[in-house]
Chain A
Amino acid sequence: MSVIADEGGFTRKVTSYPRFLLHSFGQATSGSPLFYAWMTLLTALALVGANAWANQVANGMQITNMTDHVSWGLYIANFTFFVGLAAGGVMMVIPAYLYHDEDMHDMTIVGELLAIASIIVCLLFVTVDLGRPDRFWHLFPFIGRFNFPISMLTWDVIVLNGYLLLNMHICGYLLYIRFLRQKPNPTWYKPFVFVSIVWAISIHTITAFLYCGLGGRPLWNSAVLAPRFLASAFVSGPAFILITFHVLEKLAGLRFGEGARRTLLNIIRVTCLLNIFLLLCELFTEFYSGGSHTASARYLFFGLHGHNSLVPWIWSAVLLNVAAAVMFLLPQATRNRSFLTAACLMTFAGIWIEKGMGLIVPGFIPSTLHEVVEYLPSVTEWKITVGIWAFGLMVYTLILKIAVSVLADRGTTGDPPGT
């Protein structure tokens, strides 16, 4: 059966990692009928996406609805949102490690796994947005020509991949050590945890800089964009983790400590208000001074020259975020889990709209020469997007399942790992 790690036994040491992988593989491929059904569904959706992407590569980007006017669409919108989700995962880590909340240490893995899955989704969304995916190697430092440090996109390549590696290392190490039933050695993961906290903030800051560094796009060219990104990330990340807790409790029969839940809720209670406050700051600056620079904001919130396809979306987002903020603040949020989950789902959807299509598309409308060409994603774009979401959920489900199995090996969840 399971091997109790002792310091001797060279062969054991050599074979223990393959055994860990095998265990993980076993966990990833077996489960309840519900698990199989879920995975089959996700696989099917991912395949639909893969097929749509293959067609997009073969036929050219003409089968998307992007234009020279709106040259980024659904893909980059989702990319932006998922960078936020990845950064938001770290909000589990900050209280656990900066405030020595030992209750949270096991929980942090959920946040870090969310970060891993989200970054993979981000990288996929960038890949499908490329006109020439066959030339992806041009982006590699040393092999290609990496326009560092001038291009913000090269910074993003570094921070996103760095964040992925950091989290893979932290999660992989902690889970592996737990699998061996050993005590993790702080020097092997704690420095990385602290780096990852700063790094999480950097990924979303740099992603914001991608946009706010563009002088020709007034909607984005705002100093408050990076803080807004972070504020919304620190709502959507914890919200998604709370949803994860709820689902795992309902479907997998796991129990999570009330402490972790309370900490996350307390974070959201602050960040969701901050998010709304920063939005108000932006809106005041845009609309009080007026001028042609507000055209994009006018298009987004009120429509421009009779074009208003984003108006219902952005007001839905505002409504969802405000309503969710109220719900988070009500005492029911601490008592009623379904109530809390509903609020989480609402704000998650709200931020998906606001930090996705609601941010990217109006940046292009009107165009830099004030032409109004609207954008609605094509069927191909929706298929690919759904496919990537499905793939991301698949990755998240699998790594979560492996993690839960390893952590539950001691019979309890929520225990401090004994650092």
Chain B
Amino acid sequence: MSTDSKPPKHDSGKIGFDRRTALKGGAAMLGMAALAKAIAPITEWTSDMSVDEFLQKHYKELKPGELQTVLARLEREAVEDHGVDVSINDYRPKEGVKFGYALNLSICIGCRKCAEACHIENNHDRETNQSYIRVFEMEKGGIDFEKGDANYNHPVPQKDKFYMPVQCQQCENPPCVHVCPVEATWKEQDGIVVVDYNWCIGCRYCEAACPYHARRFNWKKPEIPSQDINPDQGYLSNRVRPAGVMEKCTFCLHRTRKGKLPACLEACPTGARVFGNLLDPESEIRWVLENKRVFVLKEELGTKPQFFYFFDE
């Protein structure tokens, strides 16, 4: 709308340079002042944001030099925000590697050690006890999540129950990636679905699309005591996320792309978890796929998970 407050007289003389116009002008000024006051919190919020951060390009468009600048800036911000020296690296997928994960439901006891390890490894918000893994206590006799409970808090394992940890299934055909309007999430060559936390607009369409409740939104900035921050961080994985963006399990790519086992596997006291390279015929994961009767969650949806479940008996 035009901001000119002096309409000419041509309009049937209804509007003129009279007291009414002055009043209207005053009201407009008042309105603008009220608006400025109303949206003041945004000014405060933007003062925290650097121009570089605002204009940062998509991960895939960053040239190596630019990426180094971004990583350096993020490391600097970690010092400013948390007072800790962290190392944020860009870990790339390796040729000939495609990750797969299998979980033995016969020996999982539901101790949530995996969820806890994830919580610590991936710099999750402490107050909400966030984790990429949700463990369900299920009734024996079927895989019916309607009879499952993720909030149990009693000694495990219970006799008539079995336990089903669920995390990102790193689908071969990931609905979350398809729906993202800005390509802020994508599947990498080694099968890991990642999020560029500095590109995501926070529309949460992926969270609606995921059939496995694998995605999490940062309803606020994660709060972690400085001394508890895991300083070994990946740009696409466990660096402390900004508020208002999506995050998800990355099979600990900052570990696994260096050849290490994911944190949830190391924490498992029963050895229910098997991780490895699906393209290596000698790998443990391949042995499981070839010798156990494995299944995937919600196979009928055609998402082709790379996370497998199996029973011993």
Contacts and interface: CB of A to CB of B under 8 A. Distances in A.
> Do any CB atoms of chain A lie under 8 A from CB atoms of chain B in the complex?
yes
Interface of A: 1-2, 19, 21-23, 25-30, 43, 47-48, 50-51, 53-55, 57-62, 64, 66-69, 71-72, 126, 129-136, 138-139, 144-147, 150-154, 157, 210, 213-217, 292, 295, 363-364, 366-371
23 contacts: A21-B2, A22-B2, A22-B8, A22-B11, A23-B7, A29-B7, A30-B14, A48-B38, A61-B243, A66-B219, A72-B204, A145-B184, A146-B181, A152-B179, A153-B203, A154-B181, A210-B205, A214-B208, A215-B211, A295-B146, A369-B136, A370-B145, A371-B150
Given A29-B24, A145-B182, A145-B183, A131 B134 contact: no
A369 B11 contact: no
B203 A129 contact: yes
A181 to B, nearest CB: 14
B41 A62 contact: no
Q: For chain B, which range describes its interface: under 10, 10 to 19, 20 to 34, or 35 or more residues?
A: 35 or more
A26 B136 CA distance: 64
Contact of A215 (B243, B244, B302): B302
B80 interface: no
A21 B49 CA distance: 38
Residue among B34, B181, B217 facing the most chain A CB atoms (10 A cut-off) = B181
Contact of B201 (A22, A47, A64, A139): A139
Contact of B145 (A21, A22, A132, A369): A369
Residue of B12, B209, B212, B246 most packed against chain A (CB within 10 A): B209
Contacts of A66: 219
A25 B7 contact: yes
Nearest to B55: A137
Interface in B186-221: 199-205, 207-213, 215-221
Contact of B39 (A22, A29, A50): A50
The 9 A-B pairs of least Cβ separation, nearest first, read: A131-B202, A216-B211, A131-B244, A51-B38, A58-B41, A370-B145, A153-B181, A60-B220, A54-B41
A147 B177 CA distance: 10
Interface in B9-42: 10-12, 14-15, 20, 24, 31, 34-35, 37-42
A54 B213 CA distance: 29
Nearest to B205: A153
Given A51-B38, A54-B40, 18 more contacts: A23-B10, A26-B11, A47-B35, A50-B39, A53-B39, A60-B221, A61-B243, A62-B219, A62-B220, A68-B207, A129-B203, A131-B203, A134-B46, A135-B200, A146-B182, A151-B205, A215-B175, A292-B146
B244 A132 contact: yes
A216 B44 contact: no
B181 A147 contact: yes
Given A131-B244, A151-B180, A217 B4 contact: no
Contacts of A292: 144, 146
B201 A25 contact: no
Given A131-B244, A216-B209, A369 B201 contact: no
B4 A51 contact: no
B302 to A, nearest CB: 7
A68 B35 contact: no
Contacts of A153: 179, 181, 203, 205
Contacts of A26: 7, 11, 14-15
B204 A134 contact: no
A156 B38 CA distance: 30
